[in-house]
């Protein structure tokens, strides 16, 4: 599923990054699948420091209260993942279909009809390949009067037996998937491209929603946004199941993508705003664990439920159960503080302290007032600030290539899993299983290892795995090798997707960090909308799609090497420090002053939460 971008003007200061950053932002990421977050700590950039966090001081960084909320909030990933992945099963093109038989031929068996009406060729193995998009240009009213024994000689009734005309309607053989979107609206042959259009509209909704859902959440609150999006998702998802028009289907899918990204964003941000310290990283990544579970579940649903409309209801209506936990779901205390509603924060913290077996300090009211005052800020940095100086400009452009690469690779694999060798139901289950250790590994990488080399290696490994699939010979005995390599690529892409936003946030100076991370979502959104068309490149050769994915992954991995390492290095706060990013011993030396042509006025500093991601 696009990325979610939150760029609030007034939110609590969440720490991220490095030893010298006493006032740094907390920058989080979430995608469809949601990515992880990193926090600031005195000893380790990935660990959090809550010395100035009065909420965490009062109720603890992580206890039973936070555990309960993290678990409940993570469940919103399940219906959202279902909706982004369901076209894999709803839009399966049947292997056997033919042009609609005229009324006079309804009693003629399909095989006989195809033999007399469809052009065909014989492949190297002696198998007949029918042209399912055209029929011979014959007068079938004459043919209908012939006996069955004479139908085989039907071509002799025309002067030019090579003349063909395109079909406008088709019939389909029964399949395990039941009725599909393809059968419903004849999305084959000259209308085949409309299948990609339908999928792209959903991803376009995700991309647009990623740009505005953060602002909606900051305006109306996490809980209200999440509840409204959940109700809207249930309504729109149900309407889709009964809608008879393809054009309306595309519009509704666009709305569904827009809504789903708001659900994922609001749930993730609320999850991150109730935990502290290193638990922000652990909780943020753990928020992803229902995503691979969703892959496994939807494979079972699609296997047991026949027909795309029934599948649509099967993945939509269970979300009604999620409405029940809103009775115990609090609003984000940090968001309430950001709008000055301290009176609503105290009851929430009292409940949290009770569940966590803690006692609120008597001075809490005073400290909350101080923290409320510290949340005000003016964020007037613009996109042009990313291009005024050479080093930040270079970092920005390199990151755009990387974000485009990661999104194209991850979603190119996830949304086209039906194109891989083997059973698509089994492949989907395997896809979910391999993502679990990938998510767990992301936690260790972010907490214990660097950013640059692990990020580079995951992209390179994924790219090599994609290219190796091209060397596997076709055949039932070797298809498992191709599938295994594709899953290695997906494992690597999942890990890359988790590391990327943290690395991005640490590269930008504080004064432009929000706009820098947000701008990186633009190429990511473009990649999202291109992914449905990847397998259309098979027109130029069956090897082209995986070659493109592999090459893009390798390009992204090599591009990472052009960026500096950020682990255990003080995060830049000003434009001038950003220009010094990557030089040795930056923290112990005075950064080189940019030239007069490069020097810019510092935008006001913003202490805020910036959440990016979705995608999916």
The pLDDT of residue 62 is above 60: yes
- Of 262, 593, 562, 539, which Cα lies nearest the Cα of 397? 562
Range of weakest confidence among 44-53, 243-252, 565-574: 44-53
Range of weakest confidence among 292-301, 530-539, 557-566, 590-599: 590-599
pLDDT at res. 8:
37
- What is the pLDDT confidence band of residue 482, given thresholds at 50, 70 and 90? confident
- What is the pLDDT confidence band of residue 6, given thresholds at 50, 70 and 90? very low
The pLDDT of residue 370 is above 80: no
pLDDT at res. 282:
79
pLDDT at res. 285:
76
pLDDT at res. 413:
86
Average pLDDT over residues 246-265: 91
Give me the residue spans of the domains in the chain.
Answer: 26-91+193-361+381-614, 97-172
The terminus-to-terminus CA distance of the chain in angstroms comes to: 3
pLDDT at res. 101:
86
pLDDT at res. 267:
84
Contact by Cβ (8 Å): 37, 29: yes
Rounded Cα–Cα distance for residues 517 and 213 (Å): 15
Rounded Cα–Cα distance for residues 222 and 258 (Å): 16
Average pLDDT over residues 495-524: 76
Rounded Cα–Cα distance for residues 152 and 165 (Å): 19
> Distance of CA 332 to CAs 169, 226, 258, 271, 336, Å?
54, 12, 22, 9, 6
pLDDT at res. 96:
84
Give the HSE-up count for residue 69: Cα atoms under 13 Å, Cβ half-sphere.
31
Average pLDDT over residues 535-557: 89
CATH number of 26-91+193-361+381-614: 1.20.1250.20
Rounded Cα–Cα distance for residues 552 and 409 (Å): 7
Rounded Cα–Cα distance for residues 495 and 440 (Å): 9
Range of weakest confidence among 21-35, 395-409, 456-470, 552-566: 21-35
- What is the pLDDT confidence band of residue 372, given thresholds at 50, 70 and 90? low
Q: What are 318-325's contacts with CB under 8 Å, separation 24+?
A: 318/78, 318/79, 319/79, 319/230, 319/233, 319/234, 319/237, 320/234, 322/75, 322/76, 322/79, 322/230, 323/227, 323/230, 323/231, 325/72, 325/75
For residue range 187-235, what is the model confidence (pLDDT) as tens digits?
988 888 898 888 889 988 888 887 777 778 778 888 888 999 999 999 9
Contact by Cβ (8 Å): 545, 537: yes
Average pLDDT over residues 531-537: 83
Average pLDDT over residues 605-609: 42
pLDDT at res. 503:
80
């Amino acid at each position: 599923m696009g990325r979610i971008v939150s760029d609030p003007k007034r939110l609590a200061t969440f720490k991220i990054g490095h030893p010298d950053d006493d006032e740094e932002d907390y920058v989080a990421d979430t995608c469809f699948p949601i990515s992880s977050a990193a926090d600031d700590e005195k000893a380790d950039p990935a660990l959090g420091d809550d010395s100035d966090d009065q909420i965490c001081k009062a109720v603890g960084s992580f206890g039973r209260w936070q555990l309960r909320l993290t678990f409940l909030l993570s469940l919103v990933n399940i219906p959202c993942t279902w909706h982004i992945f369901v076209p894999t099963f709803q839009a399966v093109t049947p292997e056997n279909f033919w042009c609609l038989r005229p009324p006079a031929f309804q009693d003629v068996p399909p095989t006989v009809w195809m033999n007399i009406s469809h052009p065909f060729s014989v492949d190297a193995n002696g198998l007949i390949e029918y042209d399912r998009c055209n029929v011979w240009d014959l007068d079938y009213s004459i043919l209908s009067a012939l006996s069955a024994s004479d139908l085989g000689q039907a071509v002799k009734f025309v002067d030019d037996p090579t003349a063909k005309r395109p079909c406008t309607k088709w019939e389909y053989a029964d399949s395990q998937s039941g009725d599909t979107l393809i059968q419903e609206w004849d999305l084959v042959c000259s209308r085949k491209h409309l299948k990609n259009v339908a999928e792209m509209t959903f991803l376009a909704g995700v991309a647009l929603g990623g740009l505005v859902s953060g602002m909606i959440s900051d305006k109306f609150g996490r809980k209200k946004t999440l509840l409204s999006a959940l109700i809207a998702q249930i309504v729109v998802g149900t309407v889709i199941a009964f809608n008879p028009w393809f054009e309306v289907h595309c519009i509704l899918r666009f709305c569904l993508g827009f809504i789903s990204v708001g659900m994922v964003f609001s749930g993730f941000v609320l999850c991150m705003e109730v935990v502290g310290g290193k638990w922000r990283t652990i909780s943020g990544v753990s928020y992803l664990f229902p995503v691979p579970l969703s892959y496994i579940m939807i494979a079972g649903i699609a296997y047991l439920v026949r027909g795309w409309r029934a599948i649509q209801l099967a993945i939509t209506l269970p979300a009604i159960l999620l409405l029940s936990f809103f009775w115990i779901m609090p609003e984000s205390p940090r968001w309430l503080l950001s709008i000055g509603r301290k009176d609503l924060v105290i009851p929430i913290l009292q409940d949290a302290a009770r569940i966590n077996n803690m006692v609120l300090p008597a001075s809490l009211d005073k400290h909350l007032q101080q923290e409320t005052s510290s949340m005000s800020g003016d964020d007037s940095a613009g996109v042009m600030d990313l291009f005024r100086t050479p080093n930040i400009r270079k970092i920005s452009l390199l990151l755009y290539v990387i974000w485009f690469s990661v999104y194209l690779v991850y979603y190119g694999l996830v949304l086209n899993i039906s194109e891989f060798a083997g059973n698509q139901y089994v492949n989907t289950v395997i896809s979910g299983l391999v993502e679990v250790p990938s998510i767990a590994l992301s936690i260790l990488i972010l907490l214990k290892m660097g950013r640059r080399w692990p990020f580079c290696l995951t992209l390179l490994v994924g790219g090599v795995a994609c290219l190796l699939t091209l060397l596997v010979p076709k055949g039932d005995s070797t298809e498992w090798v191709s599938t295994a390599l594709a899953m290695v690529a997906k494992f690597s892409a999942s890990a890359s997707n988790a590391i990327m936003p943290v690395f991005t946030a640490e590269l930008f100076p504080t004064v432009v960090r929000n706009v820098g991370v947000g701008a990186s979502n633009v190429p990511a959104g473009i990649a999202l909308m291109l992914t449905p068309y990847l397998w259309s490149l098979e027109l130029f050769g069956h090897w082209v799609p995986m070659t493109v994915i592999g090459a893009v992954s390798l390009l992204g991995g090599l591009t990472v090497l052009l960026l500096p390492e950020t682990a255990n290095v003080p995060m830049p706060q000003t434009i001038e420090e950003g220009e010094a990013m990557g030089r040795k011993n930056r923290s112990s030396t005075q950064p080189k002053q940019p030239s007069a042509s490069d020097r810019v006025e510092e935008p006001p500093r913003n202490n805020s939460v910036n959440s990016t991601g979705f995608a999916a």
